[in-house]
Structure 1
Amino acid sequence: MSQFIDWTYETGRKGQGIGTPLDEKELLLAAEIGIEHPEKVRSIYVDEVPYPHKNVALKFIGEAVGLVGEGIINNAQVCGYSIYSRKDFVLNRPKLAHELVHVLQIERSGLDNVVTQHFSDMAKYGYDKAPSEVEASEANKKYSANW
């Protein structure tokens, strides 16, 4: 797991250098969600959401928990304060709220703890029922209703 954590830190650092800061409305949303440092959040639009596919062990783990593999398309992934999204995946208010909850989770517990717990939870409950995904999905619902 430490290899994935290291990769996530590095990917987050890269995102900070190339990403776009949140606009005024997005900053307000991030603050409403409870993010302590919304000014640090960056959006990065890419052709494919990054994942360490070349690392055989991490690829195997990702496939086992449903993050990557045949027929799986990741729309977005949070690496620290960096939100990577596919170019054709529009981060509208509800979808951005979902990703911002993942940023909040990292602020609350630290990246190492969130990554370790999330992989453990995905193995135990599956992707959609992992507690961090359930919490983020609640933000989708909440901010869809107010949109």
Structure 2
Amino acid sequence: MKKIIISTVVGLIASTNVWANISEKQLFEYLLPQYIAWAHQIEDKGLQSGTPLDESGIELAKDIGIKAPENVRVIYVDSVPYPYENPALKEMGLSLGFIGEGIVNNAQVFGYSIYVRKGYELDRPRLAHELVHVLQIERSNLNDVVMQHISDLAQYGYQNAPLEVEAFEANKKYAER
């Protein structure tokens, strides 16, 4: 699995010509660990500054299957964080279509921290979507989910990525209630 992820991302990054000389080993040993370390820092910041779920949010999280809904924090920000200051990670995000011209990231989960762009209505179906991402991380861990998500984006695109498909099902399910 790691080899597929690395090969896919190396191919995408190499196609930009900026990173044409990066090897799979360099990506695995240098680039993805940087992103993962950054993601853990963002989670920690969110846990310290975020707002706990209210009673209805906790009930929703429990219904979704989250084991520790009391740990979830919501952080409203002007823009969802991404390590733009790191040129290699910025190029990776651009190559994957994760960031860039015309792409607006309304919400993103880092562990138990849910970052939400100010002005984005985090209604029940949308909160359910983000809580599914919390559950995915809780079932595995942040490192593995980041690796899978990067691979999925490269292979399937955002709308068809398996982690997103599961989360979109929650949008539908909780919009009907």
Length-normalised TM-score, structure 2: 0.81
Is the Cα contact below 8 Å between 1:27 and 1:39 reproduced in 2? yes
In the alignment, is the contact (CA less than 8 A) between 1:42 and 1:82 conserved in 2? yes
Q: CA offsets, 1:66-113, max 9 Å, x none? A: 110011010001011000001100110000000000000000011100
Matched, 1:50 2:94: no
Q: Unpaired runs of 5+ in structure 1?
A: none
Consecutive aligned runs of 4 or more in structure 1 exceeding 3 Å deviation: none
- Are 1:65 and 1:127, in contact at CA under 8 Å, matched by a contact in 2? no
User: Runs of 5+ in structure 2 lacking a partner?
Assistant: 1-31
Give the counterpart letter for 2:108 in structure 1: Q
Give how far 1:59 is off: 0.9
Which 10-residue stretch deviates more, 56-65 or 73-82?
A: 56-65
- The amino acid of 1:10's aligned partner reads Q
CA distance in 2, matches of 1:133, 1:67: 13
Residue 103 of structure 2: which of 72, 93, 115 is its match? Answer: 72
Query: What is the CA–CA distance in structure 1 between the aligned matches of 2:173 and 2:87, rounded to whole Å?
Result: 38
Q: Report how many aligned residue pairs link the two structures.
A: 146
Where does residue 170 of structure 2 map in the other structure? 139
User: What is the letter of the counterpart of residue 70 of structure 2?
Assistant: E
Question: In the TM superposition, what is the alpha-carbon distance from 1:60 to its structure 2 partner?
Answer: 1.0
Q: Deviations over 1:19-57 (max 9, x none)?
A: 000000000000000001000000000001100011111
Equivalent position to 1:14, from 27, 36, 45: 45
| Counterpart position of 1:35 | 66
**1:89 corresponds to 2:89:** no
Corresponding residue number in structure 1 for 2:16? none
What RMSD over aligned residues (CA atoms) do the two structures have, in Å?
0.6
User: Secondary structure of 2:109's partner?
Assistant: strand
